[in-house]
Structure 1
Amino acid sequence: MNSETSQDGRIDEINPGCLPAWERADLPEPLPFGLVNLFRTIGPGAILLAAAIGGGEWIAGPLATKEFGRGILWIATVAVILQTIFNLEAVRYTLYTGEPIVTGFMRLQPGKLFWGWFYILIGVAQLATPALAAACGAVLFAAIMGRLPNGANDVWIQHMISTGVIVLAVLLLLSGESIERVLERLSWIMIVFIFSFLIVVNAIFVPVSESVATVQGFVGLQPRNNNVDLVLLATFAATAGSGGLGNLAISNWFRDKGFGMGALSGMFGSALAGEHGGVKPIGTTFPVTTENLRRWKVWWRYSVLDQVALWAFGCLLGMFLNVNLAAALIPADAELPGMAAGTFQAHYMAEKLWSGFWYLALLNGFWILFSTHLGNTDVLVRMVSDISLVAFPRVRQWPASRVYAVLLLVLTAWALFAVRVGTVLQLFEVLGVIACPIMAIAALQILRVNTRFLPKELRPAMWRRIGLLLCSLAYGGLTVALIMKQFR
């Protein structure tokens, strides 16, 4: 057990659960809080935002809005609020221990093997099938050929393009000394391009009255259509933010970025770059002293701004810009499959103003989808790597970067096959549906971990605990409804 001395002199015994006890050290000093240091410090939120602005905005959001009207958009607002609380509470554990949140789950009964295998299997079920790479193939095919894939020969060409997208993601993830830094830099570039294009085309093509109606939808002031497709609803609710494993991975990126005690835990380097920096499977905690609490408050402020001002605001803005464009340009009676929504908008803008909009709109769609595929690939490999380093002692004989690289290649080999199974929309719905039980279960585990393994001074406030319970109830309710629908 760790002995924890509080500010009033009380000594608390914190049982480390089913894993070894943490090491002890003082909390590293953060950069002094300020605007310049804010941009030097934040970054994990940019990775998660780039990964979040994907199928939800390009596929599920426009499709749900076209089918059921703007009255469904309040679901996105609620989803992002609940996921923001979820993310920050996952980060809270990492700031104190230097461990990803799933390592905290492995401290709970029935132990590391049970929860390790649970999250490996459910993570593979959600993200191993590369739905967004398949979508990238369809978008690039449309940009080149001027239409969506149709027929066996077209689909074969699309699959070849998707294969290239998968290989490109692997090369990018293994290209730098720090995988987190590579992702962060790429994410900032993609975010700037995506938002710049979307803001410009919304200003050009969408009347103010349409934008006002979309805003009303996000705050629940538009009429609601109760006759909705439950699978599409669950997909929309999950992918309006990050959805499932991506939300959990935020704590892994905070660790690699060096937030709080994560600075003492190491990071995943690139095997191709010869970077074999270690990742400590067991973290380090700090004593609750006046000085450490002062540092904690600064780290926490950086974390809140990273997740609220960057990720949450970016998710809502990205969804707004995409669905606002779709709602304004696509007629309600248009018969369009999910992937056709983006190409319809591209064709409309090219026909109304400038032919180059066809390529710009589809290029923007490609970056939206590719950024999510890149993030999802890292999420799955990173999660499985971290779990393996904790749960399976023999894995620790390898450098962490080599573990990551081997798992990346194994999962890529599967992805090259799986991308040919099912349509883009079917693959994407699998991603969204499986996210719901992950969020429901993990929200309760985060609540348990943060009220058991953290000292009282650092535990979440009551309203945050209620937020986690609401998150679990919301996504758990969707999970139960989907199961009941399947049985019916």
Structure 2
Amino acid sequence: MGSPELAPDEETVSEADVYDDPADATYPTSTYTPVAYDNLDQAPQDRSHPDPSDDGPFKELDLPKVPKLKYVVGPSAIMLGASLGSGETLFWPTLVARFGWGLFGLFLLAALIHFVVNTEIQRWTLATGESIFRAMERLHPVVPLALLVGGFASLGWPGWAASAAKIGAAGLSLGTYTAFGAELPGWRLLGIVLMAFIWLTYQVAPLMYNIVEKFQILLVAASIFFAVLLFMLVGSIETVLSVPANLTLPGEQLQVETVAILLGALAYAGAGGYLNLSQSLWIREKGYGMGRYQGRIKNPFAGDDPETVHRDGFTFVPNRLNLERWRGWWRVTQLEHLLTFLVGLVVVTTILTLVVFTYAAGSTGTAVNIWLDEVIPVVGPLASIVIYILLFLALFTTEYAIVESFVRNSSDIIYELYGRDAGWSLPRLFWMLLTIFCGWGIAILFSPLSAEKPFGLLVVGASMSGLMMWPYILAVQVVNTVRLPEHTMPGWGRIVSMWFAAGFFGYFSVLLTGTYLSTRLGLRLFETKATIIGSGIGGTALWFGYVIIQLAVMYHVTQAKVASTGTVDDAERARGWFS
């Protein structure tokens, strides 16, 4: 198929020129438009196009027409599924039950931060078709490699499958069974079955993203239904009205476990860490913006013709038509994330936190045990069944999304850093990593490492996810501001929001690092105080380094933003709500 004809810079652009006709759209499934890549014009290296630096050049094409909102729902539903079984059902109910509703304000703030960060992660792919990892490779190859290592450290432990299995086994009263020549508790055996089931689902569809999206939408919808049903059964207006009287905050000395859980909860107020970065690849698979030309990963054993995932992306001439389309794409992308992810996140978390606070206020137990030992015994048979179903669905949904996220992100990084030049097949690499990762999860569940405390696996993953977010938020901002042209780079409102997001996660990362070094390793000079003042010498050095890095990035971004002003004619036409 030839490349789409570049549109002239006409004075009048109709709605039909900008928006897709639903009768002609290939949505709601993933969509892809093949192009004669080698015959396309190479984009000029000027201020109206993304900066390729010394790396591969971009090809020039028009932005695709903008579909209606209902046809692009999917990527944010997967992200919501990744969030349901972590912060929503475990971390935030636990923290509020222990410390009071004062901390819930941090959840709402973190959820808004995640909305901004996630949509900024989508920006580069929307504008170029490239993944955010390819963008970071353009900064330096060590950046995506570091994210790969951090991703495994944070997601390589099947804590959600273990927790889902523990909930399911308790609900089904599973005992101990002999499997593979060993005695296994029922919940560990169920966790192994769940990991195997996740692997099998990828084998049933030619385009692996489609099965993930459909399955996640189903699980998320069921989770939201049971959350609302639970509140109808055991919730009360009295609990809601009592919230202002319970705005207490922890007065105890911060322990490393408390800070780790808090940082993890902040990260998982919206999937978190390595998971957030998957938004870039999911919208490429769905066909958002220039990602529609970039190619998708197909099942290598399904028999369908493969699609080439191009190394270097695309860009568009900033004429009136494309500027209007960019504004439309940015609007529909934000709305999809706002209405699917953010609203669903706040509704479910609030309901579950209200329930746990009602029946387990002041508890110091871990998240799964609070539900099993303190809430379920006192809510009655019907509500207990609903809780078992809801928690199982939420935790399993998260594990499913984690497998998908880790495998998709990691295969993209490995392929672009090494596999493409080595002649590897990206679909086969994806399938191989899927098999290895699921097998690794099964091995962990089979081993004594997961024998007693599934929640411990979650805290490790959660805190590592939080630690990752500060550096990559800074990197995303540099990519989007320094490398993108004026009409697609973020506006000042988003730039300031990203500064705040980086500072927010950087603050808690330094606090956790200093608390761990001073309490666990006995290095008291690295003690970090929440107020910063009064920290040890080493802790003060950590705070100082954090501030210097933060200010350096802010200065670099400001320079790029100011220098871009007025470099693209009519750039304001691309500006929309919170762009």
User: TM-score, normalising length from structure 2?
Assistant: 0.76
1:162 aligns with 2:162: no
Matches within 5 A, 1:231-246: 231-246=260-275
Q: Answer yes or no: is the 8 Å Cα contact 2:203–2:299 preserved in 1.
A: yes
Q: Answer yes or no: is the 8 Å Cα contact 2:125–2:290 preserved in 1.
A: yes
Q: Which residue does the alignment assign to 1:84?
A: 115
- Quickly say closer, same or farther: Cα 1:395–1:185, change in 2 above 3 A: farther
Q: Which residue does the alignment assign to 2:51?
A: 15
Question: What amino acid sits opposite 2:201 in the alignment?
Answer: L
Q: Which residue does the alignment assign to 1:426?
A: 456
More displaced, 17-26 or 181-190? Answer: 17-26
Q: Which residue does the alignment assign to 2:411?
A: 385
More displaced, 369-378 or 450-459? Answer: 450-459
Give the superposition deviation at 1:402: 1.3
Once the two structures are superposed, what CA deviation does each residue of 1:294-333 show, in whole Å capped at 9, x if it has no partner?
Answer: 111111111011111211111111211111111112243x
Count matched residues: 463
Q: Which residue does the alignment assign to 1:34?
A: none
Q: Which residue does the alignment assign to 1:136?
A: 164
Give the superposition deviation at 1:207: 1.4
Aligned-residue CA RMSD (Å): 2.3
- Separation in 1, partners of 2:422, 2:126: 23
- Separation in 1, partners of 2:360, 2:240: 14
Give the superposition deviation at 1:360: 2.9
Q: Which residue does the alignment assign to 1:51?
A: 82
- DSSP-derived class of the 2:185 partner: helix
- Separation in 1, partners of 2:220, 2:241: 24
- Separation in 2, partners of 1:270, 1:296: 31
Give the superposition deviation at 1:273: 2.7
Matches within 5 A, 1:10-409: 12=48, 14-31=50-67, 37-108=68-139, 111-112=140-141, 114-145=142-173, 156-214=185-243, 222-227=247-252, 229-275=258-304, 276-332=306-362, 334=363, 336-343=365-372, 344-349=374-379, 351=380, 355-394=381-420, 397-409=423-435
More displaced, 92-101 or 255-264? Answer: 92-101
- Separation in 2, partners of 1:324, 1:48: 23
Q: Which residue does the alignment assign to 2:570?
A: none
Give unmatched runs, 5+ long, in structure 2. Answer: 1-41, 519-579
- Separation in 2, partners of 1:409, 1:286: 38
How many percent identity over aligned positions?
Answer: 22
Q: Answer yes or no: is the 8 Å Cα contact 1:70–1:213 preserved in 2.
A: no
- Separation in 1, partners of 2:444, 2:333: 36
More displaced, 475-484 or 258-267? Answer: 475-484
- Quickly say closer, same or farther: Cα 1:408–1:429, change in 2 above 3 A: same
- Separation in 2, partners of 1:18, 1:115: 16
Question: What amino acid sits opposite 1:85 in the alignment?
Answer: V
Question: What amino acid sits opposite 1:470 in the alignment?
Answer: F
- Separation in 2, partners of 1:94, 1:429: 31
Give unmatched runs, 5+ long, in structure 1. Answer: 6-10, 32-36
Give the superposition deviation at 1:395: 6.3
Question: What amino acid sits opposite 2:248 in the alignment?
Answer: P
1:451 aligns with 2:481: yes
Give the superposition deviation at 1:206: 1.5
Q: Answer yes or no: is the 8 Å Cα contact 1:278–1:400 preserved in 2.
A: no
Question: What amino acid sits opposite 1:169 in the alignment?
Answer: I
Question: What amino acid sits opposite 2:283 in the alignment?
Answer: F
- Quickly say closer, same or farther: Cα 1:336–1:407, change in 2 above 3 A: same
- Quickly say closer, same or farther: Cα 1:60–1:329, change in 2 above 3 A: same
- DSSP-derived class of the 1:273 partner: coil
- DSSP-derived class of the 2:276 partner: helix
- Separation in 2, partners of 1:195, 1:404: 31
Once the two structures are superposed, what CA deviation does each residue of 1:374-429 show, in whole Å capped at 9, x if it has no partner?
Answer: 00101110001111221114466343221110111122222222234242111101
- DSSP-derived class of the 1:388 partner: helix
Once the two structures are superposed, what CA deviation does each residue of 1:341-383 show, in whole Å capped at 9, x if it has no partner?
Answer: 222433333x3xxx34433321211110011000010111000
Q: Answer yes or no: is the 8 Å Cα contact 1:23–1:285 preserved in 2.
A: yes
- Separation in 2, partners of 1:401, 1:341: 42
Question: What amino acid sits opposite 2:359 in the alignment?
Answer: L
User: TM-score, normalising length from structure 1?
Assistant: 0.89
Once the two structures are superposed, what CA deviation does each residue of 1:25-55 show, in whole Å capped at 9, x if it has no partner?
Answer: 1111122xxxxx3211221111111111112
- Quickly say closer, same or farther: Cα 1:273–1:462, change in 2 above 3 A: same
Higher relative contact order (CA 8 A, sep 6+): 1
Question: What amino acid sits opposite 2:401 in the alignment?
Answer: G
Q: Answer yes or no: is the 8 Å Cα contact 1:277–1:400 preserved in 2.
A: no
More displaced, 368-377 or 435-444? Answer: 435-444
- DSSP-derived class of the 1:106 partner: helix
- Kindly name which structure, 1 or 2, has the bigger radius of gyration based on alpha carbons: 2
- Separation in 2, partners of 1:76, 1:124: 25
Q: Which residue does the alignment assign to 2:504?
A: 474
Give the superposition deviation at 1:461: 0.9
- DSSP-derived class of the 1:408 partner: helix
Q: Answer yes or no: is the 8 Å Cα contact 1:175–1:272 preserved in 2.
A: no
- Separation in 1, partners of 2:128, 2:81: 26
- Quickly say closer, same or farther: Cα 1:272–1:370, change in 2 above 3 A: farther
- Quickly say closer, same or farther: Cα 1:12–1:190, change in 2 above 3 A: closer
Q: Which residue does the alignment assign to 2:528?
A: none
Give the superposition deviation at 1:184: 1.5
Give the superposition deviation at 1:18: 4.9
- Separation in 1, partners of 2:152, 2:323: 38
Once the two structures are superposed, what CA deviation does each residue of 1:51-90 show, in whole Å capped at 9, x if it has no partner?
Answer: 1111212221221111111111111111111111111111
More displaced, 114-123 or 366-375? Answer: 114-123
Question: What amino acid sits opposite 1:105 in the alignment?
Answer: M
- Separation in 2, partners of 1:396, 1:476: 37
- DSSP-derived class of the 1:60 partner: helix
- Separation in 2, partners of 1:73, 1:284: 42
Give the superposition deviation at 1:283: 1.4
- Quickly say closer, same or farther: Cα 1:124–1:483, change in 2 above 3 A: same
Question: What amino acid sits opposite 1:182 in the alignment?
Answer: I
- DSSP-derived class of the 1:387 partner: helix
